[in-house]
Amino acid sequence: MPVHRTAVTLADGRELIYFDESPGLDRSTPDKRDLPPPPPASELRYDPLLDDWVAVAAHRQTRTFLPPTTECPLCPSTPDFSSEIPAADYDVVVFENRFPSFSSRVAGVGGTSLTPVTPTRPGAGRCEVVCFTSDHNGSFAGLSPARVRTVVDAWADRTAALNELPEVEQVFCFENRGEEIGVTLHHPHGQIYAYPYLPQRTRQHLANATPTLFADILSAERGGPRVVASNEHWTAFVPAFARWPYEVHVYPHRQVPDIPALDDAERDAFGPVYLEVLRRLDGLFGVSMPYIAAWYQAPTRTGRDVYRLHLQVTSNRRAPGRLKYLAGSEAAMGAWVNDVPPERAAEQLREAKWLP
């Protein structure tokens, strides 16, 4: 089923793109809000201890925080409230974040040194919001496989486009779900960060990667005791080295660098496996599981011959009514202690009651 793409401009000049499952929809409804100009880019400050960059984005302090349902900025607009989406309904929408961590609006930002060892530079790049459904009370787990395919096509479209920006080094698609994780909007949505540098995690992956490392990990897990779900094109498993109490990695069987490289069969097959994973997580304790779902894609310009696309889903819920907090060892030293053996976590997820 082809996705129909329509780009429009919001009142403050930001881009919004409708990804429609039906052709011929009228997407000419204007954004009637009176908005201030988008903020300038953040400032990147170099951390010489970790050889990494930290973005300082003070304008994000004013971002929308847990508004009432009637004022949700991700719902379709109504006669009584104009949201970020001008249309009265939509399938999937992507738009530039109003409070971005990274932006192309870099004039007058950075380019100095705060100390002899702390240079700065503009936080160039781009941040986008992906709305998976117009249903405020929905969830990714509640989507149909066909809608998941639309979301995958939107991720692919945006990854390909953002990879073309000269300042972008890596594109990161992710979803935060649940107040326990720290979400500030309940409407089902994810985000896309186009980084102007390679984050530390990616550099660690590349430093350890060989042409067969990701394939070796998948081969070691397929058919084993930690597999949660699988089909012809994808396998979801709890890795033997899981850090979080409930952590599931989802790998395509074919080594591809990023989401745009997935073929039609792989894009169609992703939804059934991923939806099973999410519904098993929700069924584990009979409550909506908080999680972070993170797509790891190959960088724009380096390591594309060895990096393998994969998804990591991690939850900080370790038991009913109990969360895993990153305290001294994990937060301060990055030295992880997992309370749930990965084999037990996989067994629990396979036994979880869930609605297909």
| Per-residue model confidence as pLDDT tens digits over 52-84 | 999 999 889 888 888 999 999 999 999 999 999
* Coil, helix or strand at residue 93: strand
Q: What is the pLDDT of residue 67?
A: 94
> How confident is the model at residue 38, as a pLDDT?
94
| pLDDT of 59 | 87
Burial of 324 (0-12, 13-18, 19+ CB in 10 A): buried
pLDDT at 109 over 80: no
- The answer to whether residue 205 is catalytic is no
120-141 tens-digit pLDDT: 999 999 999 999 999 999 999 9
Q: Give the model's pLDDT for residue 63.
A: 86
**Out of 4, 189, 205, 249, which one is annotated catalytic?**
189
Mean pLDDT over 3-23 rounds to: 98
Q: Is the pLDDT of residue 99 over 70?
A: yes
**CATH class, range 4-37+64-97+125-351:** alpha beta
The predicted structure's pLDDT at residue 131? 98
Give residue 16's pLDDT band: very low, low, confident or very high (50, 70, 90).
Answer: very high
Please determine, for residue 337, whether its predicted confidence score (pLDDT) is greater than 70. yes
pLDDT tens by residue, 138-152: 999 999 999 999 999
Buried b (16+ CB within 10 A) or exposed e, 148-173: bbbbbbbbbbbbebbbebebbbbbbb
Q: What is the pLDDT of residue 111?
A: 75
Identify the bridge partners of residue 194 per DSSP, sorted by sequence position.
126, 171
Indicate the pTM of the whole model. 0.97
Please report the pLDDT score of residue 254 as a whole number.
98
Collapsed DSSP state (helix, strand, coil) of residue 264:
helix
Q: What are phi and psi of 51, to 5 degrees?
A: 50, 55
| Known binding-site residue numbers for Zn(2+) | 72, 75, 136, 187
| The predicted structure's pLDDT at residue 65 | 85
Average pLDDT estimate for 82-110? 93
Give dist(CA 194, CA 175) in Å, integer. 15
pLDDT at 110: 65
What is the average pLDDT across 253-278?
Answer: 98
